Amino acid sequence: MNELNLDYTLFIPEFLLVGLVVLVVGLDLFAPQVRKSLLSYATAAGLAATAGISLAWIDVESDFAGVVAVDNYTTFFRVFFMLGAAVIALASGRLVEERLRHPGEYYGLLTLATIGAIGMAASRELMTAYLSLELLSFSSYVLVSYQKYEGRSNEAGLKYMLLGAFSSALLLYGLSLIYGIAGSTYYSDVSAALGAGTSEYEWAMLMGIVLVITGLGFKVAAVPFHMWTPDAYEGAPVAITMFLSTISKAAGFALLLRLFSGAFEVVHDDWSWMIAGISAATMILGNLVALQQHNIKRLMAYSSIGQVGYMLMGIAGLSHETASALVLHMTGYMISNMVVFVVIIAWYVQTGKEEIDEFRGMRERAPLLAGALAGALFSLAGLPLFAGFVTKFILFQAAVDEGYLWLAGIGVTTSVVSLYYYLQVMRRAFVDAPAEGETERLRIPYVMQGLAVILMLGVFYVGLYPQGLFDIVDNATAFLFV
């Protein structure tokens, strides 16, 4: 057995994160008197710092026993996830303080979940990928049901948990089949085995891929594996909804990209149509059902389902171009979505309201939030000046170049549908006058205002001059196709 490269230094950022977890939990435990919002700042700072540190691995191309790769792709997602988590930690501050118990564990779990996400992006081997996924999922299960005295939260948690377990069982079965074929769980070996292209185990391969798609489709909420999404999103604490709709989803795609490009690329034609079909169904159902929603979290759930549909296009016509287009779109989507959630959280913390109708008069009571909301929603709807337009355009164009014009057509059409319900939200925020006796200006904490502004700047950056980001992404995804 050849000499393994067991280089633990590769995981310094993760170790630091673990340290951060210990620190935060300890802080909460042994210094209960400190202001709880301090924890959120600490977590955010730690995550951001680690993100900075992990920049040191740029252009390092190495791996741990072939199990986990540290290349620009990993680095990109490390930074991406850590910064995202930092934003979420900051955004959670007031919410946790006022509505949740055990803040220390909350931030700890958040951080652990981030590690799981990174693992998903980094792993080049099925077992590791699966375990990272479970790490992310378990943390999410706990966090979703974190409002322990809130029936809705528990219910959401239970649904997410049971269905999650169920689908991961399916995923595992699929993995076992693939293992049976390849005799190994390394993506490279799998790819080699499939590449051999003997028809004896074609069916097993197909079944395996179907089940893998099922498991990961559940993770990223693709139709018909999406059913948990609206319920979990609605029940969970808002910040966690934010987490689910951004990082957890992105992690799913990071894994999908790595896995499908690394292991299944060779049999592209055998599975691309599955993804394409799922993508179409996802776009249509997600955006359609969103029309009927009245709870903002639920609406965002469906809208994110729709977004998943677009992103799956990138998987369906998998190639370097589509991959980078996909990651680009994912970035833009994540930033825009975070703006929306920052606004929702701020509004919820101040008014305790999360029904769309209760957004009325936001223009009067919190102009900045209203503005940011409008911008972000336009971005999600894919209108120009904002991130959504460019990224969507490029993603769809990429899909078209891979021969998926019809998918792009559905995508464009459904994004018009999405515009409808986004506009409905905007109508509440801008057109409707505030309800009786609720006209005074809200005092939005500076943290939230700052977040909204900074994220909006991000949205504009991606929307107006994405060359830099696009280059980075392109370079990162290049490592998937060596």
Closest CB to other proteins among residues 17, 90: 17
45 binds other proteins (CB under 8 A): no
Report helix angle 228-235 to 296-316, nearest 10.
Answer: 140
Strand partners of residue 474: none
Cα distances (Å, whole numbers) of residue 95 to 40, 248, 346: 10, 20, 8
Stretch that binds other proteins, among 219-227, 240-248, 303-311, 354-362 (CB under 8 A): 219-227
Number of residues engaging other proteins in binding (CB under 8 A): 137
237 binds other proteins (CB under 8 A): no
Stretch that binds other proteins, among 33-41, 81-89, 163-171, 259-267 (CB under 8 A): 163-171
Determine the Cα–Cα distance for residues 21 and 46; give it in Å rounded to an integer.
9
CB 137 within 8 A of CB 231: no
Closest CB to other proteins among residues 170, 335: 170
Helix residue ranges per DSSP H, 55-148: 72-99, 103-122, 126-144
Closest CB to other proteins among residues 38, 158: 158
330 binds other proteins (CB under 8 A): no
How many CB atoms are closer than 10 A to CB 365? 21
Phi and psi for 366 in degrees, rounded to 5? -150, 75
Cα distances (Å, whole numbers) of residue 460 to 12, 287, 410: 33, 24, 26
481 binds other proteins (CB under 8 A): no
Contacting other proteins within 142-161 (CB under 8 A): 142, 145-146, 148-152, 154-159, 161
Contacting other proteins within 268-307 (CB under 8 A): 270, 274, 277-278, 285, 288-293
Closest CB to other proteins among residues 80, 386: 386
Stretch that binds other proteins, among 54-62, 88-96, 107-115, 329-337 (CB under 8 A): 107-115
Stretch that binds other proteins, among 76-84, 248-256, 305-313, 363-371 (CB under 8 A): 363-371
Determine the Cα–Cα distance for residues 282 and 365; give it in Å rounded to an integer.
36
Q: Which residues contact 120 (CB under 8 A, 6 or more apart)?
A: 129, 132, 133, 136, 251, 252, 254, 255, 258
The minimum distance between CB 186 and other proteins, in angstroms, equals 9
Sole binder of other proteins in the list 34, 427, 435, 439 (CB under 8 A): 427
Contacting other proteins within 454-473 (CB under 8 A): 465-467, 470-471
Sole binder of other proteins in the list 324, 331, 337, 391 (CB under 8 A): 324
The minimum distance between CB 374 and other proteins, in angstroms, equals 7
The minimum distance between CB 466 and other proteins, in angstroms, equals 7
172 binds other proteins (CB under 8 A): yes
56 binds other proteins (CB under 8 A): no
Contacting other proteins within 378-407 (CB under 8 A): 378, 383-385, 389, 393-394, 396-398, 400-401, 405
Q: DSSP readout, 305-325?
A: HHHHHHHHHHHHT-SHHHHHH
Sole binder of other proteins in the list 80, 81, 179, 187 (CB under 8 A): 179
The SS3 of residue 471 is helix
Tokens of 48: 């951001």
The candidate with the shortest Cα–Cα distance to 376, out of 435, 413, 425, is 425
108 binds other proteins (CB under 8 A): yes
Sole binder of other proteins in the list 29, 60, 227, 435 (CB under 8 A): 227
Determine the Cα–Cα distance for residues 45 and 335; give it in Å rounded to an integer.
19
Within 13 Å, how many C-alpha atoms sit on residue 31's CB side?
Answer: 11
Strand partners of residue 69: 63
141 binds other proteins (CB under 8 A): yes
Contacting other proteins within 252-271 (CB under 8 A): 270
Determine the Cα–Cα distance for residues 72 and 381; give it in Å rounded to an integer.
30
